[in-house]
């Protein structure tokens, strides 16, 4: 894979930040504001990503690409009994401001940035690899590799991410949308990140989830 300069990666981040900031301004703190179609499918994604987590005891969680903090709504509704030390990180300052207005608590923090500054028991990233806009695929895949490597280094027990499936044969790919096969990134996590990977591909949507756990855990 070609190595792109940091400036090119920074420009990709800047364009994605602008895209989501505009979505938030247009649709507000809602699934449409983070480019999801509706609340039920957003909740289904969260359920699959959180399969990784053990809710029998308290844990810390990094939420990369947290948006307006929708994951906290899900946790409050479905797992209110489990204390979660939550850190949400998002590229968009507007998203972070919106999240801070919606959620306040001693175990809740939000930061603007491209990665988490702290280690946690688990990390999740929902949808952050989907919207590549007009970035070249090699550049976008380098950004994904960089992000997955960071998630591995800051997740003690594991991390979960999701991707959009490649369209079936004969169907046209949506412009600006990154689509891939599960094997592309499960192999990267297994070989380059020394991790065990479970592919979750059974929830009736044109996407899949990877549950990634370090081999030494």
Q: Where are the domains of the chain?
A: 6-214
Q: Is the pLDDT of residue 119 over 80?
A: yes
- The predicted pLDDT at position 23 comes to 77
Question: CA of 196: how far to CAs of 81, 97, 124, 154, in Å?
Answer: 29, 36, 16, 16
- The predicted pLDDT at position 185 comes to 98
Task: Say how far apart CA 91 and CA 153 lie, in whole Å.
Answer: 19
- Note whether 172 and 137 are within 8 A (CB): no
The CATH superfamily label for domain 6-214 reads: Vaccinia Virus protein VP39 (3.40.50.150)
Would you place residue 1 in the very low, low, confident or very high pLDDT band (cuts 50, 70, 90)?
very low
Task: Say how far apart CA 164 and CA 158 lie, in whole Å.
Answer: 21
- Note whether 165 and 179 are within 8 A (CB): yes
State the chain's mean pLDDT as an integer. 90
- The predicted pLDDT at position 8 comes to 86
- The predicted pLDDT at position 7 comes to 77
Using alpha carbons, select from 66, 71, 9, 67 the residue that is nearest to residue 44.
Answer: 71
Question: CA of 1: how far to CAs of 77, 145, 150, 151, 195, in Å?
Answer: 43, 10, 18, 20, 21
Would you place residue 50 in the very low, low, confident or very high pLDDT band (cuts 50, 70, 90)?
very high
Which percentage of the chain shows pLDDT scores above 90? 71
Element (H, E) at 164: strand 155-165
Please state whether the predicted TM-score (pTM) of the whole model is above 0.85: yes
Would you place residue 33 in the very low, low, confident or very high pLDDT band (cuts 50, 70, 90)?
very low
Task: Say how far apart CA 155 and CA 90 lie, in whole Å.
Answer: 17
């Amino acid at each position: 894979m070609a190595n792109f300069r940091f400036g090119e990666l920074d420009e990709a981040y800047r364009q994605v930040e602008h895209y989501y900031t505009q979505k938030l301004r247009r649709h507000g703190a809602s699934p449409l504001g983070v480019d999801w179609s509706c609340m039920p499918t957003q909740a289904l994604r969260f359920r699959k990503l959180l399969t990784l987590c053990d809710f029998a005891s308290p844990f810390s969680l990094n939420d990369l690409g947290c948006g307006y903090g929708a994951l906290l709504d899900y946790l409050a509704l479905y797992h209110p009994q489990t204390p979660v030390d939550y850190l949400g990180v998002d590229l968009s300052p507007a998203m972070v401001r919106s999240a801070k207005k919606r959620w306040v608590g001693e175990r809740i923090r939000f930061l603007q940035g491209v990665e988490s500054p702290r280690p946690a028991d688990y990390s999740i990233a929902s949808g952050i690899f989907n919207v590549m806009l007009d970035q070249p695929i090699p550049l976008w895949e380098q950004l994904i590799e960089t992000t997955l490597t960071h998630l591995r280094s800051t997740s003690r027990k594991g991390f979960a991410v999701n991707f959009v499936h490649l369209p079936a044969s004969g169907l046209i790919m949506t412009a600006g949308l990154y689509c891939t096969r599960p094997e592309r990134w499960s192999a990267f996590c297994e070989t380059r990140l020394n991790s065990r990977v479970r592919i979750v591909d059974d929830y009736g949507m044109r996407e899949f989830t990877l549950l990634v756990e370090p081999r030494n855990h």
